[in-house]
Structure 1
Amino acid sequence: MTPLQVSRDAPIGIFDSGVGGLSVLRHIRAQLPREHLIYFADSGFAPYGDKPEHVLAERVLAIGAFLVGQGAKAIVIACNTATVAAIAVLRARYPGMVIVGVEPGLKPAAAASRNGIVGVLATERTLGGNKFLLLRDQVAQSSGARFLLQACHGLADQIEFGTLESSQTDALLSRFIAPLLDAGADTIVLGCTHYPLVQASIERVIAASTQRAITLVDTGEAVARQLARLLVAGGVARDSGAPARLEGYTSASATALSAAFSGLLGLDPPTYEIVADPAGGSLIVQNN
């Protein structure tokens, strides 16, 4: 496929299976305040973790086509599961385009750990993916770190429902974090973009469980740095012009996405609902 021709003024598309990617968008806005942003929450198709890889790949291509249709000059897959399953096919579809994925921050966690024992909180799909396991083995070999993998079944769904501060969320966190602390981990990777949204609860659970200092690793900042580097290298970084715009799209409820923007980030961008075109299956804006 012919590489896309893009302008500096074009927006950056960011997507996730739901609102978890807002934790990445937060870092992107902080590091790239002049860039126009489009956020797509695929809440109507969530969760991604229980979908076969070929289904996820097809969905990622459909979202990529939608974002490109909105004029996106770059795409950020703000979802660990989607990155593992489909970043290669998206890059093959749009050669030369800036496409950045997320992966658990094993390397910075290994560097931050004092005793070499690192816990990783992530979805079962992420932890079982070949891409992740290869990364784990490479970092373990180069650093000597030991990684304790903890699948967090149901945690992303709990966050997606908006129950960030609740006894149910704390109970889930305690169940997942306790084995890591008992095994001696002094560093914990937040290996799903939903998890930084409950970092305050994670810190509270840790404080109630141990007096040891525990380092938490959120990879959103590293994703934003990589995106900035690639935009500059490609000559498409936006450094002037009118104030930056932010728009939200979702395959579920625009009202729910608006509430997430407001409650999690204190923002109030316009939001729109997306549906599949019955004629061809492509994603289109509802009632547009």
Structure 2
Amino acid sequence: MSASPVGVFDSGVGGLSVLNALRAELPHERFVYFADTANAPYGERGEDFVTQRTLAIAVDLVERHRIKALVVACNTATAAAIHLVRATYPDLPVVGLEPALKPAVSLSGTRNIAVLATRGTLDSLKFKKLHASLADQANFSLVPCDGLAAAIESSSNAAIADLCARYMHAAGRFGTEPDQIDTVVLGCTHYPFIADELRRHAGPGVRFIDTGAPVALQTRRLLAAAATLADECDDNIATVLETSGAPQALAAAAARWLLQPAAQPAAAAR
């Protein structure tokens, strides 16, 4: 099993930010990444639909690629269906995502925190439980960023700039004074790609937090516990990229955002 790949999937290209962190933390591992671009973004879909897609993709990655671990690189899919994936494959290490509210609380000096996420994530029971568990420790400004993941998927720079300005304004006042927001949680894997645009509206001293590095560390822990960490990797074996949408769109995103090259994406119907 140590030579088997780690499966990673997202509704689209956002999970490439997590893949970057995984490849940095686990340089000897093989990865297969699936972007469900034909159905993106999940954050604006119903929970039943997201659950069905998550399970179908997990089954395919297990059966066709024989993955040794699965990273659900999507906050919305994690909230909707990760418990069902774990129940279906109890022996498979499965790592999910959730907005980094706990790290934000520990880092914030003003205890005022903005959470930028999809509506599907913010409306999920899993997120509501997390938020409620921390509500007495900080003030959270929850901002559903409708359309932002889709704008990133289409690389629409004008739309990205407009939406970033709109949602950062909706979050509140930023800064390091006691009544200002000093920490921003990027609650969607798409958002780290536009962090610089978001920072333009925050000013100095404001922290931005995403979940890529913690997810990569947790993946390492689970592989080590299962004794399936790869000792070495053939340099000629590239990360496999697949999509339910147009391969050329995923190729363009990979060229723009992946820190290491990957094989040319292939179409894979689900």
- TM-score normalized with structure 1 length: 0.87
Q: Distance in 2 between matches of 1:94 and 1:77?
A: 14
Runs of 5+ unmatched residues, structure 1: 1-6, 276-282, 284-288
Structure 2 match to 1:259 = 252
SS at match of 2:29: coil
Corresponding residue for residue 194 of structure 1: 190
After superposing the two structures, state which structure 1 stretch, 108-117 or 46-55, moved more. 46-55
Counterpart in 1 of 2:163? 172
Q: Per-residue displacement from partner, 1:84-103 (whole Å, max 9, x unpaired)?
A: 00101111110121111111
In 2: Cα distance, 1:106 partner to 1:91 partner: 23
| TM-score (norm. length: structure 2) | 0.93
Contact 1:170/1:205 (<8 A) preserved: no
Query: Among the aligned pairs, what percent are the same residue?
Result: 41
Following superposition of structure 1 onto structure 2, how do residues 105-144 of structure 1 map, counting pairs within 5 Å? 105-141=100-136, 144=137
1:154 alignment partner, one of 147, 155, 158: 147
Q: Deviations over 1:94-147 (max 9, x none)?
A: 012111111100000111100101100001110111100111111234xx1111
* DSSP 3-state at the match of 2:71: strand
Do the aligned residues in 1 keep the contact of 2:29 with 2:232 (CA within 8 Å)? no
Query: Corresponding residue for 2:223?
Result: 231
Amino acid corresponding to residue 37 of structure 2 in structure 1: S
For 2:256 and 2:46, locate their aligned partners in 1 and report how far apart those are by CA, in whole Å: 32
Deviation of 1:29 after TM superposition, in Å, equals: 0.5
Question: Whole-Å Cα distance in 2 between the matches of residues 239 and 106 of structure 1?
Answer: 34
Compute the displacement of 1:271 (Å).
1.3
CA distance in 2, matches of 1:75, 1:9: 14
Q: Cα deviations across residues 174-218 of structure 1 (Å, max 9, x unaligned)?
A: 1111232427211000000000011111122323xxxx5110001
243-252 or 110-119: bigger deviation:
243-252
* Alpha-carbon contact 1:251-1:273 (below 8 Å) kept: yes
Matched, 1:204 2:200: yes
Contact 1:152 1:176 in 2 (8 A): yes
Q: Greater CA deviation, 251-260 or 43-52?
A: 43-52
Q: Does 1:81 align with 2:76?
A: yes
Rounded to whole Å, the distance in 2 between the matches of 1:156 and 1:108 is: 23
Out of 238, 251, 256, the residue aligned to residue 245 of structure 1 is 238
- Aligned equivalent of 1:3: none
Determine the C-alpha separation between the residues in 1 that align with 2:211 and 2:196. 16
* Contact map agreement 1:100 1:223 (CA 8 A) in 2: yes
Per the alignment, residue 17 of structure 2 pairs with 23
Moved over 3 A (4+): none
- How far apart, in 2, do the equivalents of 1:242 and 1:168 lie? 41
Aligned partner of 2:266 in structure 1 is: 272
The 2-side partners of 1:31 and 1:268 are apart by 17
226-235 vs 198-207, which moves further: 198-207
Shift of 1:241: 4.3
Task: Give the superposed CA RMSD.
Answer: 1.4
Corresponding position of 2:214: 222
Over 3 Å counting, the alpha-carbon distance change for 1:204 and 1:251 in structure 2 is same
CA contact (8 A) 1:73 1:98 kept: yes
Residues 21, 32 of structure 1: CA spacing in aligned structure 2 closer, same or farther, 3 A cutoff? same
8 Å CA contact retained: 1:14, 1:25:
yes
Query: What is the rounded CA distance, in whole Å, between the counterparts of 1:22 and 1:176 in structure 2?
Result: 23
Larger displacement relative to structure 2 (81-90 or 242-251): 242-251
Q: Matched residues in 1 for 2:234 and 2:257: separation?
A: 26
Greater CA deviation, 197-206 or 71-80? 197-206
Unaligned runs of 5+ in 2: 174-178
Say if 1:35 and 1:245, in contact at 8 Å, map to a contact too: no
Residue by residue over 1:38-83, the C-alpha shift from the partner in whole angstroms, topping out at 9 and shown as x without a partner, is: 0000001122123322222111111011111211111111001100
Aligned to 1:279: none
